[in-house]
Amino acid sequence: MRVLAVDDDTQFLEIFRDALQKVGQFHVTSVESGAAALQILSDPLEQGFDLIFLDILMPQMDGVQLCGRIRRLPGYGQTPILMLTAAQGRKWIYSAFDAGANDYISKPLDELELETRIDNARRLLAWNAQTINGPEAEYASDVSIYTCLAGVQGLLDTVSLHNFVLQMSRFDLLFLSSLAITFPSFPVVRWSVGVSTFRRLLLEHTSAIRDACATDNAMIGYVEDGTFIVVGELPRGLDAIRLRRRLEVRLAAKAQCCPNDIATSEEFEILSGKRFTMMGARSAYDTLLELEKSAQAICAGVKRTG
Amino acid sequence: MSRVLSEVRSRFLAEAQIKLVEISAAAPEELARVDGSHRDNPLFVYAHRVSGVAQTLGFDGLGARARHLEDQLECFFIASKPNGFPNLELDDFLEELAYAISSN
C-alpha cells in the first residue's frame, strides 16, 4: 500500500513512518509542505497513492486547503485522506471534512488508533471499488448514504426541501418557484461514497420531489458545493432553456464569475466553475433568497400579463 | 522504545535546549510579533510542534504544557488579546522544557 504523509514537522514524520511500519506493510513517501505534496501527486511518473495523511496546521498551505486541492486532482477523488491533528486542531476537522477528508488521527500518535483508522480507510477503499464496479454494492451503499445523512445537518435540509415542495403542491401554485438549499456536509458524503452513488441519491430525491409536486415540471439541480436548486412549475412564456440561462447569469453574478463558467446539462444539473465552487453556505443561502425574490417577481409579472 | 523513537527523542532534546535559550532570551514583544498569520509566529509554531510530538516521545507533562500554551497563544493572537500575552503559561512551558532536558 502506497502512503503519502505530509507534515512540516520532520521529527513527527520520522515517528509516523516508524509507527506505520509497525502497523503494516507500507511504502511511505513523506513531504514537508503542501506544495511538495501537490507536485508529487501531479507527477505522471508517480504510481499514485492509496492513502494520504495530511497535517492540518502547516505554514503557507494548511492541510485543509491542501485536502481540497488534492480532491480536484485527477485520480484522487476517492483516495482516503486522513488528517493528522493535535487536540487544538480538532476545530479545523469540520472544515477538513468539508474539503473532502475522510477521517482524522489525533496527535500524540497512538499506534492502536493509527491501526484502527487505517483499517477503516482500507474498508473505505474496498467499498469505493465495489461502489464503482457493482450495481448491487452501489444500492447497498445508497442505504449507507442515508445513514450518513442521518447524523448530519444535511438531512434536516432535505426535510426542509421536501416540506417546501409539499407546501407548494398544496397551494397548487402555478408559477415558477425556485429554491437553493445547502448541504454543509455534502462533500463528506460525496467523497466518502463516490460521485456516481451520490448522483443516484440525487435522482431518487428528484423523483420524490416530483411526486410530491404531482407535476413533471419540477426540476432539481445541484452545485458541487452542495447547493440544491429546485424549480417548480414554469410560468407561461418562460421555457426551460431561458430559465436555465437566467439562473446561470444570476448564479454567475453571485459568484462573481463569467456565466460560461457555469454550465447546465440536459438534466439541469449545474456544473460549477472553479470560482463558484468556492461559495460558502452563507452565499448559497443568499442565492436562495435572491432566487426566491426573482421567482416572486416573475410570478407577479406573469399574473399581471396573463 | 524503538531505535527511531530513541533517535528522534535525542534530537528533540537537543533542539529543546536551543529553543529554551532562544525563548528565554527573547523580549516579550519579539515573542508576540506576528508577520502575516499567527500560525507563522515562531513561538506558536514551536508550541504546536511540541504539543504534537512530545507525548509520543514520552514527555507527557511537556506535551500538556505545550498544548495549554498553544491554546493561550491562539486566544492572544485571535481573540482580541483578552488576557494579554500568556506569560504564566510560557513560564510553565519553559520550566517543563528545562525539566525534560535535565532529567534525560
Task: Give the residue from A72, A110, A37, A80 showing the smallest Cα distance to A272.
Answer: A72
pLDDT in 10s for each residue of chain B, 104 residues:
678 888 899 999 999 999 999 999 988 888 888 877 777 788 988 998 898 888 888 898 898 899 889 888 888 887 666 667 888 889 999 999 999 888 87
Residues 55 to 94 of A: which have CB under 8 A from any B CB? 55, 57, 59, 62, 84, 86-88
**CB atoms closer than 10 angstroms to residue A131:** 25
Span A52-65, mean pLDDT? 89
Check residue B51 and give its pLDDT: 87
pLDDT at A151: 29
Give the relative orientation of helices A111-133 and A135-150 as an angle to the nearest 10 degrees.
Answer: 130
Residue B74 has a pLDDT of 84
**Reduced 3-state DSSP string for A155-207:** HHHHHHHHHHHHHHHHCCCCCCCEEEEECCCHHHHHHHHCHHHHHHHHHHHHH
Subunit contact B53:A87, Cβ cutoff 8 A? no
List Cβ neighbours of A191 (8 Å cut-off, separation of 6 or more): A71, A77, A78, A100, A101, A102
Per the listing, cell 504539543 goes with: B51
Residue A264, sorted as left (phi over 0), alpha (psi -120 to 50) or beta, turns out to be beta
Of the pLDDT bands very low, low, confident and very high (cuts 50, 70, 90), residue A44 is: confident
Q: In this complex, do A108 and B7 lie within 8 Å of one another by their Cβ atoms?
A: no
ipTM of the complex: 0.80
Is residue A260 within 8 angstroms of chain B, CB to CB?
Answer: no
Strand A27-31 with A2-6, pairing: parallel
Q: What is the pLDDT of residue B62?
A: 92
CB contacts < 8 A (A, B): 59
Average pLDDT over residues A235-257: 51
Contact A122/B at CB under 8 A: no
A218 or A275, greater pLDDT: A218
Q: Looking at the complex, report in whole angstroms how far the Cα of residue B72 sits from the nearest Cα belonging to chain A.
A: 11
- Over 60: is that where the pLDDT of A27 sits? yes
Distances (CA, A) of A247 to A206, A209, A213, A252, B64: 18, 20, 21, 8, 53
pTM of the predicted model over 0.90: no
Could you count the other beta carbons within 10 Å of the beta carbon of residue A242?
Answer: 11
- Of A7-16, A84-93, B52-61, the least confident: A84-93
Query: pLDDT: is A179 or B89 the higher one?
Result: B89
pLDDT in tens, A133-144: 444 333 333 322
Contact A86 B45 (CB under 8 A): no
- Closest residue of B to A106, CA-based? B52
For A170-174, A180-184, A212-216, which range has the lowest pLDDT when averaged over its residues?
A170-174
Tens of pLDDT, residue by residue over A196-208, are 666 665 555 445 4
A103-122: average pLDDT: 84
A30: helix, strand or coil: strand
pLDDT of residue A226: 47
* CB-CB neighbors (< 8 A) of B86 in chain A: none
Contact assignment for A86 to B48 by CB distance below 8 Å: yes
All residues at 6 or more sequence positions from A154 whose CB lies less than 8 Å from its CB, including other chains: A183, A184, A185, A186, A189, A226
Which residues, numbered 32 to 51 in chain B, qualify as contacts with chain A under a Cβ-Cβ cut-off of 8 Å?
Answer: 39-40, 45, 48-49, 51
Task: Determine the Cα–Cα distance for residues A42 and A20; give it in Å rounded to an integer.
Answer: 24
Q: What is the mean pLDDT of chain A?
A: 60
Interface test with B, best of A15, A53, A90 (most B CBs within 10 A): A15
Residues of B within 8 A of A87 (CB-CB) are 51, 67
Amino acid A193: pLDDT = 55
Contacts of A22 in chain B (CB under 8 A): 2
Closest CA to A88 of A106, A61, A68: A106
Mean pLDDT check: name the lowest of A65-69, A127-131, A300-304: A300-304
Who wins on pLDDT, A191 or A268?
A191
* Mean per-residue pLDDT, A40-56: 86
